[in-house]
Structure 1
Amino acid sequence: MTAGISNLLLTPEEMTAVDTAAAASGIPSYALMQRAGAAVAASLLRDFPAVLRAVVLCGPGNNGGDGYVAACLLADSGVAVVVFQMGEPEKLKGDAARARDNFPNAVQPLETYQPRNGDVIIDALFGAGLARDVPKSVADVIERVKQAQVPVIAVDLPSGVDGRTGTVRGAAFTAVRTVSFMTRKPGHLLMPGRELCGELEVFDIGIPARIVRAEKKLQIAENQPECWRQVLPSSGLETHKYKRGHLVVFSGEAGKTGAARMSAMAGLKAGAGLVTIAAPGDAVAENAAHLTAIMLHPIEEEAALGNWLHDERLQTFVLGPGFGVGDKARRFVAALSDRHLVLDADGLSSFKDAPDELFLQFSGEPRLVLTPHEGEFGRLFPDIAADTAMGKVEKAQAAAARANAAIVYKGADTVIASPDGRACINTNAPVWLATAGSGDVLAGVIGALMAQGVPAFEAAAAGVYMHGDAGMRAGKGLTAEELATEVRPL
């Protein structure tokens, strides 16, 4: 695979433009189809050498053509092959029709397929370009295959999965392996598409990297260090604690202080030079009993906060973990509107009835990070959340533009978006990160990076990645306290 190309994310529309540009450059499109089909056939022979019958389900477009090429090659290798075609085979056009004509055996209607023991299915029905719900005939076949537990190798993407959003269009195959070409699509990484793909392989079928890169228009990527490494703080020898940033985490009242401490500890572990917990008077002693390296500062109301903010070294704050929902949170945010702020949990919920009040306070250079889970996102951005035409990436991008903030749209497929349109899909988080307090740790990590001078979007993306890394080190059964101790600076 050409260096770096397989790590790109192209939307189905961008990949179509790549195919068109490749043909216009003189590359024979049928040769590309032959290589794609060969990759699929090779995958089946490698993983299922004892297959009794290869069942190739072919659709009405070029994805079906890939299936016919694979069927021919498997038949040539001595495998028993049967092809089931969606629609009339005579209606195939171009390269797909040429591939169909090269298949020597009769083709059967898709609706007649009944799974057998020993079958291995090649799903070449739709691929990544599906933009509507699958028809009932396909949904019925998907259900029969699911009930029979027949293994499926998907061509490009399991049929029924939207390549742009990862959502299921009515019904979708669950593949043991997905064979894609040149680059991945967002649907390979977004849920539930990521789970439905099984193991993903990306094959180079011979399109030059210059063509692929030229057609990539949208700034969507997997959340990897190359997205933000260049803006991480220097590890030079000449430094001190204030150069490494001072992070302030606001605590809740007595009895509700644990979340802030986990956030503060994560911030310290993530590299902040100083971390202070700002707590109301009744919570100072409670916090002090648990703290050593983390400092404490008593703060009751916004007047005291305003006086403290005369110290210009205080530039980065985390507000929300255990803080409490209500007017106090809104007043504190207003006082911090010219600073860098990670707003999480109760801080987000405090603006559920007046989100524009929040957004209007943070104009100019983005310095606000919002970390909503699904429910919080819906309360802050109800119209965006309800738009079924948008996928998770598009929703995060629209929210970031509206709020002028970096958005961390949390979940198994966390999406980080910037007001300028950039977006990253995170993939390194283990499922056991879904535990109480995990989000508090994440807020502290992001805050620590911002305190060290990392811009909001890059701090959010790097923080999510570090959070996933810490979860992998902590292992199954982790608690949020253990997670915080496993955070490592980048």
Structure 2
Amino acid sequence: LTPGQTRELDRISMAELDIPGKRLMGNAGRRVAEKALEMTSDIHDPAIFILCGKGNNGGDGFAAAVILNEQNYQIQIHSIPDKKEIKNDSLHYYLKCEGLGIPVTFGSHIPEFKKPDLVIDGLLGTGFKGELRKDLIPYVDWINETVSKILSIDIPSGLDGNSGTLHLRAVKADATMTFGGCKTGMVFRNGPDHSGNVTVGEIGFPELDELDLPGLEWTLYSSEQSKEFFHKPAIDAHKYSSGKVLVIAGSRGMTGAAMLATFGALRCGAGLTITTAPSSLNEIYERSIIEGMTLSLEDGNSGVLSGDHFDPIMEKVDWADSVVLGPGLGRELETQELIRQLVQSINKPLILDADGLFPFSGKLEKLNAREFPLL
């Protein structure tokens, strides 16, 4: 899920399905507490330090403390917002902590506390992006410098939940307990290195396949699941029965992109490949692609493909079972126009990548007009 989809999931759950926010937060706290128990199972009488921010992540931290208190753990909570700034469902669970006598401190300085065995990071949630506030930097540094295990709630604080980018620093967690679904920022860029072991905790959200969330639908495949896409060839398989791929890629200075795309198709099991080549570069293609065929297209020594090549390319589209379009094609105007024409006309499964996406920058809705599979 993206942060925007997560917000919509929250809204649907509470506003349309009448699931109380307190219940969702309580369930989230229970999942965090369960993960904390798992991470400290080999420690006698563990000490747990919980940092709570202003948002729902802080509330989840308070809710987790209530559950952990039942185990008689040594718990210390430090809240970034003052008591009067804690609102809504977070206030409900803060007051529970107060009623149970769980120590809670406030302010801009981390209090002295015996070396914790586990730090629970509830500073920032999935809505964070950009630079950390200066007053939060010492907290993130303290968390990362501790020799304790680190558990982040929903997403490591300081990590962009959409893109996985960070500005200078973010919490580097050993584990993250997230809700609703893994966040896109956890699998892109800095996300995997900072999220640690990611668990999606069940807190009572509706099933995602029952909802119409905005934006793209994301699916995360593990290495083991990915293997299911590769099948052992039949004993009588041959090149004509193993799929034909047309690769439309490469230009002067970027012939390597065409080679890599072609080699990738062959290594995935394609029986036959044809790679388009501007005629002035065809010798390079011929020398490098020894397992596949090439289609030399007269280019007047320009080193790029253009609208003049539309018809001969479409003839090979009829031959192919699937098409790769874009890697290293360049961004010349005539090439962009060719790409637009091809995307509209190719009636086979199409993988669109790299320079193939450039003509649709800011106009991705135009890709929705395709009737055939597009990746």
Instruction: Please report the TM-score for the alignment, with normalisation by the length of structure 1.
Output: 0.58
CA shift in 2, pair 1:87/1:328, >3 Å = same
1:457 aligns with 2:348: no
1:18-417 matched pairs, under 5 angstroms: 18-24=9-15, 25-49=17-41, 50=43, 52-103=46-97, 104-113=101-110, 117-131=115-129, 133-168=131-166, 171-209=169-207, 213-222=210-219, 224=221, 245-247=243-245, 264=262, 266-275=264-273, 291=290, 294=291, 299=296, 302=298, 327-331=302-306, 334-335=309-310, 338=314, 340=317, 342-343=324-325, 347-348=328-329, 350-351=330-331, 356-362=336-342, 364-365=344-345, 369-372=351-354, 381=358, 398=361, 401=364
Aligned CA distance change for structure 1 residues 69 and 286 (closer, same or farther; 3 Å): closer
CA displacement at 1:40 relative to structure 2: 0.8
Q: Secondary structure at the match of 2:139?
A: helix
1:138 CA displacement? 1.0
Per-residue deviation, 1:58: 0.8
Shift of 1:56: 0.7
Residues 63 and 355 (structure 1 numbering): CA distance in 2 closer, same or farther, change over 3 Å? Answer: farther
SS at match of 1:145: helix
Deviation, 1:179, is 0.4
Contact 2:140 2:171 in 1 (8 A): yes
Task: Say if 1:276 and 1:13 are closer, same or farther in 2 by CA, change over 3 A.
Answer: closer
Could you give the per-residue CA deviations for residues 255-311 of structure 1, whole angstroms, max 9, x where no partner exists?
Answer: x99987765554344343433577878669956xx95xx465684x5289xxxxxxx
Which amino acid in the other structure matches residue 72 of structure 1?
A: V
Distance in 1 (alpha carbons) for counterparts of 2:38 and 2:21 = 26
Find the aligned partners of 1:297 and 1:208 in 2 and give their Cα distance.
Answer: 51
Q: Distance in 1 between matches of 2:285 and 2:173?
A: 54
- How far did residue 369 of structure 1 move? 4.3
Q: What amino acid is the match of 1:36? A: A
In 1: Cα distance, 2:335 partner to 2:295 partner:
28
Q: Output the amino acid matched with 2:58.
A: G
Unaligned ranges ≥5, structure 1: 1-9, 305-325, 385-396, 405-418, 423-453, 459-490
- Counterpart-to-counterpart distance in 2, 1:259 and 1:135: 41
Return closer, same or farther for 1:355/1:87 CA change in 2, 3 Å cut-off. Answer: farther
Deviation at 1:332, TM superposition (A): 8.9
| 1:363 CA displacement | 5.1
CA deviation map 1:2-51 (0-9, x unaligned):
xxxxxxxx333333333333334343322222221111111111112326
Per-residue deviation, 1:66? 1.0
Give the conservation status (yes or no) of the 8 Å contact 1:330–1:351. Answer: no
Q: 1:84 to 1:264 in 2, by over 3 A?
A: closer
> 1:97 corresponds to which letter in structure 2?
L
**How far apart, in 1, do the equivalents of 2:205 and 2:260 lie?**
49
Matched residue pairs, number? Answer: 350
User: 2:2: which partner in 1?
Assistant: 11
Structure 2: unaligned runs, 5 residues or longer? 318-322
The one-letter amino acid of 2:368's match is: D
1:398-437 pair list within 5 angstroms: 398=361, 401=364, 419-420=367-368
1:148 Cα deviation from its structure 2 partner: 3.2
Aligned-partner Cα distance in 2 for 1:238–1:78 = 66
Deviation at 1:174, TM superposition (A): 0.9
Distance in 2 (alpha carbons) for counterparts of 1:355 and 1:252: 11
Q: Does the Cα contact within 8 Å between 2:307 and 2:337 map onto a contact in 1?
A: no
User: CA–CA distance in 2 between the matches of 1:214 and 1:371?
Assistant: 29
Aligned residue for 2:51, secondary structure, equals: strand
1:143-202: CA deviation from partner (whole Å, max 9, x where unpaired): 122233433211111111222222225642111110012322222222212321111001
Aligned to 2:320: none
Conserved in 1, the CA contact under 8 Å of 2:6 and 2:180? no
Q: Partners of 2:212 and 2:118 in 1: how far apart?
A: 35
Provide, for residues 330-362 of structure 1, a one-character-per-residue CA deviation record: whole Å limited to 9, x for no partner: 2598345535553455x33x4357664444443
Alpha carbons 1:153, 1:179 under 8 Å: kept: yes
Taking structure 1 as reference, are residues 187 and 330 closer, same or farther at Cα in structure 2, changes over 3 Å only? Answer: same
Q: What is the CA-CA distance between 1:141 and the residue it aligns to?
A: 1.1
- Output the amino acid matched with 2:121: D
Greater shift, 158-167 or 332-341, is seen at: 332-341
Closer, same or farther in 2 for the Cα pair 1:333/1:165, shift >3 Å?
A: farther
Displacement of 1:117 in angstroms is 3.4
Contact 1:14–1:215 (Cα < 8 Å) also in 2: no
Given the superposition, is the C-alpha separation of residues 248 and 188 from structure 1 closer, same or farther in structure 2, using an over 3 Å criterion? Answer: closer
RMSD of the alignment, in Å? 4.5
The residue aligned with 1:450 is none
Shift of 1:91: 1.9
Give the secondary structure class of the aligned counterpart of 1:220.
coil
* Percent of residue pairs bearing the same amino acid type: 25
